[in-house]
Structure 1
Amino acid sequence: MRVILVLLATASANAVSGQVTDPDVGREIYLSYCVQCHGFDAEGAGPMAEILAVETPDLTLLAKRNEGFFPTSEVAMKIDGRAQVLAHGGDMPLFGPLFDAGPTVTIRLSSGQPMMMSRTLADLVSYLETLQAQ
């Protein structure tokens, strides 16, 4: 029983509740890891896009393609490897460890359901949400 309490206390110490994200940090992450394929404007025309076997998606249209709602959980799961991405051969193998590392935050989805993810991933997803076309 004591071990369980210690584990719960440790997990609580590493988790941050609520919408604690920083889109400015997410932008820096995007520029470091995503711009080569998705482009500076996130519309899918990055320098590497032309050599990919599949079309690079326009990340500014994610909400528009989802009835006006930004699909937070789907985006997060594609980035961190919980959902496979064909163009990446399944997971995003180059970036998986980056988006898994660090402190964990809890994001509240539009449905009200909480979703846990790394702070790095939460910041990136929050930046992508700011790019959505109206």
Structure 2
Amino acid sequence: MALGIALTLALPALAAGDDVADGHRYFVRYCASCHGTDALGDGPVAKSLATPPANLRKLGDKYGMPLPAHRIAELIDGRDTARAHGSHEMPVWGEKLYELGQGERGEYGIGEVIGKIIAYLDTIQDRRTAMR
């Protein structure tokens, strides 16, 4: 619930280009090892995982466009949902981000990072197939 409040506070700034650029940097740092630099699910760690990472360019097919930030944030954060990612292999990023120092500003800091990643993900959706 606290993440939802923090994400809501961070959302008005998500449209800014700087947030997308920051989100890309966070994505490369935290997500690309599994999901790949192009978010296709083909990162260098992917082959060693029992459950293949998702192709994140197709989130719009499943969740609609624009991406529902609150729902995607819950999946990334993972603290409030048991096995939110469908597998125990994906880290619960809400905890990991806190450990990595993003929690120094409390839930707002974690929500801001996750919100920026979502802003970036929204820009890379395969819009040829994603529902609108």
- TM-score when normalising by structure 2: 0.68
Q: Is the 8 A contact 2:66 2:122 kept in 1?
A: no
Q: What is the aligned partner in structure 1 of residue 3 from structure 2?
A: none
Q: Distance in 2 between matches of 1:50 and 1:73?
A: 30
Map 1:1-134 to 2 at 5 A.
16=9, 18-21=11-14, 22-81=19-78, 82-83=80-81, 84-89=84-89, 92=92, 95-97=96-98, 98=100, 101=103, 102=105, 104=108, 118-134=111-127
Q: Is the 8 A contact 1:99 1:120 kept in 2?
A: no
Give aligned pairs, total: 109
Structure number, greater radius of gyration: 1
Question: Percent sequence identity over matched residues?
Answer: 26
Matched to 1:46, the amino acid is: G
Gaps of at least 5 residues in structure 2 are 1-7, 128-132
Deviation per CA, 1:70-110, whole angstroms, max 9, x where unpaired? 232221001111332233357616624259623628xxxxx
Decide whether aligned partners of structure 1 residues 53 and 60 sit closer, same or farther in structure 2, where only a CA change above 3 A counts: same
Greater helix share, structure number: 2
Q: Distance in 2 between matches of 1:129 and 1:66?
A: 11
Q: Distance in 1 between matches of 2:35 and 2:65?
A: 21
Root-mean-square deviation (CA), in Å? 2.8
- TM-score when normalising by structure 1: 0.67
C-alpha displacement of 1:130: 0.8
Gaps of at least 5 residues in structure 1 are 1-14, 106-116
Structure showing greater relative contact order (alpha-carbon pairs closer than 8 Å, 6 or more residues apart): 2
Q: Distance in 2 between matches of 1:47 and 1:19?
A: 34
Q: Distance in 1 between matches of 2:101 and 2:126?
A: 25
C-alpha displacement of 1:118: 1.8
C-alpha displacement of 1:17: 6.2
